[in-house]
Structure 1
Amino acid sequence: MSATVELVEHAPATGHVLPDAVGRALAASRVVDASPDPYTPGRWLLRAGSKVGAVSVDGPDLASPVTVRITPKVPITRLFFLLGYSLDPRGVRRDGQVDVAEHRDLLPALAHAVERQIDRALWQGLLQGYRETEESALVVRGRIRETDQIRRRFGAALPVEVTYDEFTTDIAENRILRSAVERLLRLPGVPREVRRRLLHHRLRLADVTPIVRGQVLPAWHPSRLNARYQHALHLARAVLSDASPEHAPGGLRIDGYLLNMNKLFEDFVTVALRESLRGTDLGCRLQASHHLDEAAAIRMKPDLVLYRPDGTPLAVADAKYKAEKRAGYPDADLYQMLAYCTALGLPEGHLVYAKGNEPHAAHRVRNAGVVIHQHALDLDQTPTALLADIASVSRHMRACLSV
């Protein structure tokens, strides 16, 4: 029987009796903050940060696996709205209702949601499309790759190096779905019934080549033909892009699913701000590279820069998931935003936090004429109210146009 450690995102450290190898593996992998208890041998102090989900630590020297489950502070349905909106803002349901059945933990809920979307995607059969194929053949098919023919065959007539377009199910969309199924089947904590349905989907996708972990996901482009696949593809990308390690020191293996709430909040805020600007003549860029100094030696990448119609910067925004501390907002964030505004020549900057201890605040920097706004978003509210708060931040950013 495996031992289970229950933690809560950003909660105070708690003590747990663990094998030293497991404690060291958790510390080295940065799944959680882990340190030995100086007063009690065999006891480790564990504190979860911004990663939520579940991982299992196992190895030949352990009597049984150890599962670490990290519960998010945000309710699962709200978390899935943030995830769905950041992946597909025009496809997510605005009422916040997500098909996660009765599951209250992240991994079972995610596995259920992905399986349901894949089932809907494949209900009418597998999508087919053209894929460019290169091979050595005894007959000419498609186009001869003359350079490869000379380099590999040294003048021999056969076999022929050819390239042709093949109409097949082994296309990017199906490969992504197959890979998400394979990933979920390897994870501990997927409910038995969901696992059974995933095995059925793997049979349906048996002729599709899965993506090797670590490889870049193949590109696909939304179209009328793959419309029924799109929701499933967005969720599959979340499954394949998680933050969990696979190996740990001492021959141990860590497997599971971890979602970085810092990254999720940043993606949601920037995508929602971008969507709020649709229909205007303003432009915005996410994670655009700029430089702080004239020699272009110090690079900076603000989360979002808003541009006037003539292409000059108008305002800048940065998303900060955790701002909770007794003294209020962190001062370091203000210094970073001031550097952004100074380098970009902007009169205003905006810091957007998950709700902490402070309401909206505005600071005018002495001798600089720069105003830095700090906004707080309450994530535990309805999607409609949350998007309304984002629209308010967007209006603040656009107010510079009248200045």
Structure 2
Amino acid sequence: MTAVVEGAASSVELVEHAPAVSLDLPDGIGRALAAGDIVNAAPDPYAPGRWSLRAGSKVGVVAVSVPGGEPFTVRITPKVPIARLFFLLGYSLDPRSGWRDGQVDVAEHHDLLPALAHAVERQIDRALRQGLLQGYRATEETALVVRGRIREAEQIRRHFGATLPVEVAYDEFTTDIAENRILRAAVERLLRLPGVPRDVRRRLLHQRTRLADVTPIVRGQPIPDWHPTRLNARYHHALHLARVVLDGASAEQAPGGLRIDGFLFDMNQLFEDFVTVALRETFRGTHRTGRLQDPHHLDENAAIRMKPDFVLYGPDQSPLAVADAKYKAEKPEGYPGADLYQMLAYCTALGLPEGHLVYAKGNAPHAAHRVRHAGIVLHQHALDLGQAPDGLLAGITAIARQMCPDLGV
């Protein structure tokens, strides 16, 4: 069933995997949405001049700007409650940092982008309460005095043996370090996105002022790496969320001067990350090792590659269990059969008698299928994302017990 929005629209609100919406759109915007892999967009076959828009697994907000015209905004709401989504996100990023205890505060916001902007700003504020973190940054420059060490090769190449100026390299103790640059980049990114509430935007501007002496990351430049340490511990939550903002950014120039700008979050990836990280944490300390996105080959000639989401190994590094996470819209009749064929291939190549598919709960309960002439059992589990965090983790533990009954987890 397709809902119809009458008249030319400047925005539309869609729900993840909900029925399509038909509305009056300029062809350029419709084509841009379709080409940008933002939503399923196609001309409405029953209404000439209208476009049918249907959200898939990507949620967030995107603005399509037409030269000389008003931007068209698409907001896609997840089916999962915002607070639950942030638990899944936080646990996937750092499962041992107490995300269940409200570390990611989404306040009263019910849409993804306002909630994310609020959470990022609050975490940055907490990170900077003791002042900006300082650290050593490797610096190379041309100077009139010697500082650090002389770069002899550069001195000869650039100055032909002249004494001054001198090419030097040294470590500078400064606030202009990767951690602060990432935070500033996230703030700048959020300030450019449509749909950030006025009060959150005001607080983000305050955070940008606090980070004013930090070198901004120019669009197109790679995001600098950072590594969690004891010294930057108060930044960890803020940095994790900042990377979510930067990794989910979408901005491109489309043909004809169209511009697409916004933030999109893939629920497929979020569900996969949560399930695999939670399984790995469940088996931690059991002398078994869980590996995520573990590369293997289906054939003996190593020509056909495959990458199960999660493979559990024993102390002797032999495979004990395999699992794949499948967040997708189920058909009314139940789980998609293609997933079973994929899991059968994993079990065959790894020499395992059982395989496990984990879905977000929908139309079908747990099921198990014994493959004819092979004896391999394929399990399909349903994880209810509507549960509280403790219930979600208990569901993961129950799946882990079925994967490896003798571990006592």
TM-score between both structures, scaled by the size of structure 2: 0.93
Match of 2:32 in 1: 25
Aligned equivalent of 1:159, options 157, 161, 165: 165
Give the unaligned 5+ runs of structure 1.
none
Residue aligning to 1:186? 192
Contact 1:322–1:356 (CA under 8 A) maintained in structure 2: no
Does 2:359 correspond to 1:326? Answer: no
- Using the TM superposition, give the Cα deviation of residue 227 of structure 1 relative to its aligned residue in structure 2, in angstroms: 1.5
Q: Which has the higher contact order (CA 8 A, sep 6+)?
A: 1
1:384 maps to a residue whose letter is: D
More off after superposition, 266-275 vs 239-248: 239-248
Aligned AA (1:20): D
Q: Deviations over 1:326-355 (max 9, x none)?
A: 121111111111111112222221111101
Q: Where does structure 2 lack aligned partners over 5 or more consecutive residues?
A: 1-7
Q: 1:72 aligns with which of 73, 78, 87?
A: 78
Partners of 2:338 and 2:102 in 1: how far apart? Answer: 34
Corresponding residue for 1:6? 13
Aligned equivalent of 2:400, options 394, 397, 400: 394
Report what 2:129 is aligned to: 123
Conserved 8 A contact 1:27-1:35: yes
Match of 2:42 among 20, 26, 35: 35
- Alpha-carbon contact 1:74-1:380 (below 8 Å) kept: yes
The alignment partner of 2:253 has SS state of coil
Query: Which residue of the partner structure matches residue 110 of structure 2?
Result: 104
- The residue that corresponds to 2:119 in the other structure is 113
Deviation at 1:196, TM superposition (A): 0.9
In the aligned structure 1, how far is the partner of 2:300 from the partner of 2:218? 42
Cα offset, 1:243, TM superposition: 5.5
Moved more, 97-106 or 168-177: 97-106
2:298 aligned with 1:295: no
Q: State how far apart, in whole Å, the 1-side matches of 2:230 and 2:113 are.
A: 31
Between the aligned partners of 2:103 and 2:227, the Cα distance in structure 1 is: 26
What is the identity, as a one-letter code, of the residue corresponding to 1:104?
H
State how far apart, in whole Å, the 2-side matches of 1:261 and 1:240 are.
Answer: 16
Identity %: 78
Post-superposition shift, 1:368?
2.2
Q: Within 5 Å, which residues of 2 pair with 1:193-204?
A: 193-204=199-210
In structure 1, which of residues 280, 304, 322 is the aligned counterpart of residue 286 of structure 2? Answer: 280
CA contact (8 A) 2:401 2:407 kept: no
| SS of equivalent residue, structure 1 residue 94 | helix
- Given that 2:140 and 2:168 are in contact with CA atoms closer than 8 Å, whether structure 1 keeps it comes out as yes
Q: Secondary structure at the match of 1:134?
A: strand
C-alpha contact 1:315 1:400 (8 A) present in aligned 2: no
Which of 203-212 and 192-201 deviates more? 203-212
Distance 1:243 1:191 in 2: 18
Aligned to 2:87: 81
- Partners of 1:234 and 1:97 in 2: how far apart? 12
Per the alignment, do residues 229 and 39 of structure 1 end up closer, same or farther by CA in structure 2, a change over 3 Å counting?
Answer: same
